[in-house]
Structure 1
Amino acid sequence: MKRKLLSIAVLVVCGLSKLQAQDHVYSQFYNAPNYLNPALNGQFEGDLRINLIYRNQWSSLPGNQTYLTFSADYKMPSLGGGLGLLVTSSNEGSAYLRKLNISGIYSYSVDFDNAVLSFGLQAGFTQREIDYSKIVFGDQIDPIDGIIPGAVSGVTLPEYNNKYFFDAGAGANLVVGSFMAGIASQHINRPNESFTGSKTTLPVRISAHASYRLSLDPYNMDDNAAAVIPSVVMYTQAKSSSVSTGCQYKYKGANVGLWYRSGTKGGSDAMVVSLIFDLFVRRDSYDKVRLGMSHDATLSKMQYGNTSGTSEAALSYETTLPSRANTFPGRSRRSNSRRCHEFY
């Protein structure tokens, strides 16, 4: 009953006119590269890459939050980079606050002797929709018995239950030797997301990330060589912020990671365990299927026993198209630096 009332309290707050929320973040940020930073679009070994990632957050709470992101990016050497498509869908709470974003991405890369610098631009449209009939307001709750069956709220609801707006983002990423760092900004046009006539701008989300690939065999530059990859990812949006730190151990087709994520104001949020397996790898034509899994153990005041934590699953596919297999033989390096895909 306590957990149910907690959910109701959250929905009462969310049911008011502004309904402003923060963007979700993925624990498997490396398996959602285009969501993390549009500059990572087209940064992979083959010609075509397709990613799918699903997040089920706090599954034990009523009205849990679910997120799904699909991306596809295609290398375009004639344009100096790649073109991509990013589709993100979310469903938050028992009020069915849904959000759907569809964006296009263009990225451009510049190669130096020992570095690769890439830039990405993202633009698209977002739809937000809410089912007001699912919201429970304060005048529908009895302080002793809880929800009053059949009670009708006297709250005046907004005239509209959906909103469409243009949304844009940009990012940059730099790989120097075995070090990678990037920064991205989303909602840079600060779109109005309000369901009412009043203006409520979506806060800019800034993400920054850095990784270092420490090879356990310094004489082997192959992507499958044993390596430890420590990383840090930082997010900030309005008054909300988080920092994820941890490392992965990568060897051949397996990758094991352990992460700690802090919450706003420095509190603990979660410990994350991740597993990645590269399946059906064909080196002759370069085909790869990747399966990723992770689980967050909640460390915040909400407690793991109340939430059952958060789980993610990711699936990706990379391939070399037959029509281009001989056009760019060997995918030769134009610099001595590693590439983004070697850090995850």
Structure 2
Amino acid sequence: MKRLYKWLMPVYVALAWMPAAKAQVDPHFSQYYVYPLSLNPGLTGAMEGDYRVSAIYRNQWQNVTNAFSTVGLSADVTTNKNINIGLSIFNQAAGDGGYRFTNGYLTVAYNGLAFDREKYKRLAIGIQGGFVNRRFDPSKLQFGDQWFPGIGYSPTVPTGDGFAKIKAGAFDAGAGLAYYDGTPDQMVSPFGGVSVFHLTQPGDPFLAGDKEKLPMRFSAHAGARIVLSDALTLVPNMLYMRQGNAQEKMAGAYMQFYAGQYTDLLLGANWRINDAVSPFAGFTYNNFTVGVSYDVNASELGKMAKGSNSFEISLTYIGKRRNSVRTDYFKCPRL
């Protein structure tokens, strides 16, 4: 039972924090713009380049044994037909039982809807389809009937506890709208969008057979890239997400400082309302962007988990084709 308790501890904490919620909350990132395909399918191909590869890692609740660690990977590319294509996958692992929540998607976005003659102000429509998969490894767990007085735990003794399922997968889909203004040489470039995920509401057999569904996740995000001088840019941003009875509100900003011909420095913070403050630092060099953030939990959850701070690190590469003549690049934010 000891190892079983340690495996379930992250789940106990989450349920205690949301006693009225009947929803599983998707993994999320404080540097949410680093992983745009999970934020909004409409952002596929919205970048200052022709292709992009992003990776992000989040580690949280380290005071809880083997708590949550999440990895996200994505790649997207533009075409000459106003069609952009992307692939994304993320995996979250938690607990001694090797619980894993894995999602993978193919995303397609159309950005041919323009609001000006030069086609800098655009509305993109994105859809995605893929899979959700959840599993755990019961061989890594210890049960009460495997413990004996004076002996302790014996891995050679089989347990009488059984599981109807140790893994499950289902088709999943999402969609989103994204607006952005790529007009060159302007002081303020706004962007924003709305999206919905889990349109198919796949069942969660680990809760109650297929009767419990993964609820849809709705999100709205907005911000602007504000050029204050040749050497300084300000990017305020906000995010609202809701899934079932759980919701997240985040607002913040960061500054981008010119530090050399090929290098910019990034510094800022986000505030997840009633939850945590997340300072951020990073830099760009040539086509690479590296970012680091640390969530300082300020809610009752931090007390229950005896400290539930989180750490993130991200890496993004944005490239251009050798013979590219595009001029309508999205003034993309970095988080």
TM-score (norm 1): 0.79
Contact 2:77–2:86 (Cα < 8 Å) also in 1: yes
Aligned: 1:74 with 2:73: no
In structure 1, distance between residues paired with 2:246 and 2:132: 21
CA shift digits 1:186-207 (9 cap, x unpaired) = 1011111314644221110111
> Which sections of structure 1, spanning at least 5 residues, go unmatched?
142-147, 263-267, 282-287
For 2:268 and 2:253, how far apart are their aligned partners in 1?
6
Residue 69 (structure 1) shift: 0.7
Shift of 1:54: 0.5
1:343/1:5 Cα in 2 relative to 1: closer, same or farther (>3 Å)? closer
Counterparts of 2:334 and 2:313, CA distance in 1: 19
Matched, 1:175 2:180: yes
Matches within 5 A, 1:179-218: 179-195=190-206, 197-217=209-229
Give 1:101's aligned residue: 103
Which amino acid counterpart does residue 317 of structure 1 have in structure 2? Y
Which residue number in structure 2 is paired with residue 341 of structure 1? 332
1: CA distance, partners of 2:220 / 2:146:
43
* Match runs of 1:224-243 below 5 Å: 225-243=231-249
> Measured at CA, do residues 211 and 243 of structure 1 come closer, stay the same or move farther in structure 2, by a change above 3 Å?
same
Aligned to 1:122: 128
Deviation at residue 310 of structure 1 after TM alignment: 0.5
Opposite residue 77 of structure 1, the aligned amino acid is N
- 1:244 equivalent among 250, 268, 275: 250
Change (3 A) 1:140 1:8: farther
Q: Give 1:212 deviation, angstroms.
A: 2.2
Determine helix, strand or coil for the equivalent of 2:202: coil
Task: Calculate percent identity across the aligned residue pairs.
Answer: 28
Letter in 1 for 2:134: R
Q: Corresponding residue for 1:145?
A: none
Q: Secondary structure at the match of 2:42?
A: helix
Cα 1:310/1:72, change in 2 over 3 Å: same
Aligned partners of 2:278 and 2:294 also within 8 Å: yes
Contact 2:23 2:246 in 1 (8 A): no
- In structure 2, relative to structure 1, the CA distance for the partners of 1:228 and 1:119 (3 Å cut) is same
The Cα shift of 1:156 comes to 5.0
Which residue is 1:270 aligned to?
276
Q: d(CA) in 2 for partners of 1:62 and 1:153?
A: 25
Q: CA–CA distance in 2 between the matches of 1:271 and 1:300?
A: 10
Equivalent residue for 1:311? 311
AA in 2 matched with 1:164: G
C-alpha change, 1:108 and 1:6, in structure 2 (3 Å) is: same
Q: Aligned residue pairs: how many?
A: 304
Taking a change above 3 Å as real, the CA distance of residues 300 and 136 of structure 1, as seen in their structure-2 partners, is: farther
8 Å contact from structure 1 (residues 86, 104) kept in 2: yes
Secondary structure in 2 matching 1:35: helix
Deviation at 1:180, TM superposition (A): 1.4
Query: Does the 8 Å CA contact 1:213/1:343 hold for their aligned counterparts?
Result: no
The aligned amino acid for 1:311 is: F
| Cα displacement (A) at 1:153 | 11
State the AA in 2 paired with 1:339.
Answer: F
Tell me whether 125-134 or 56-65 shows the greater mean CA deviation: 125-134
Equivalent residue, structure 1, for 2:298: 299
Q: What does residue range 315-330 of structure 1 map to in structure 2 within 5 Å?
A: 315-322=315-322, 325=323, 328-329=324-325
Instruction: Give CA deviations for 1:31-56 in whole Å, capped at 9, x if unaligned.
Output: 11111111111011222210000000
8 Å Cα contact 1:116-1:339 kept in structure 2:
no
Deviation at 1:135, TM superposition (A): 5.3
Aligned to 2:163: 158
Which residue is equivalent to 1:265?
none
Specify the code of the residue in structure 1 equivalent to 2:135. E
Partner of 2:45: 42
- The 1-side partners of 2:142 and 2:8 are apart by 6
Contact 2:54 2:315 in 1 (8 A): yes
- Alpha-carbon separation, structure 2, partners of 1:251 and 1:100: 37
Deviation at 1:232, TM superposition (A): 1.0
For 2:40, give the aligned amino acid: N
Q: Distance in 2 between matches of 1:36 and 1:136?
A: 38
Q: 1:241 to 1:140 in 2, by over 3 A?
A: farther
Q: Does 1:85 align with 2:87?
A: yes
* Cα pair 1:11 1:93 within 8 Å, conserved: no
Q: Are the counterparts in 2 of residues 165 and 193 from structure 1 also a CA contact under 8 Å?
A: no
Q: Cα distance 1:26–1:167, how it changes in 2: closer, same or farther (>3 A)?
A: same
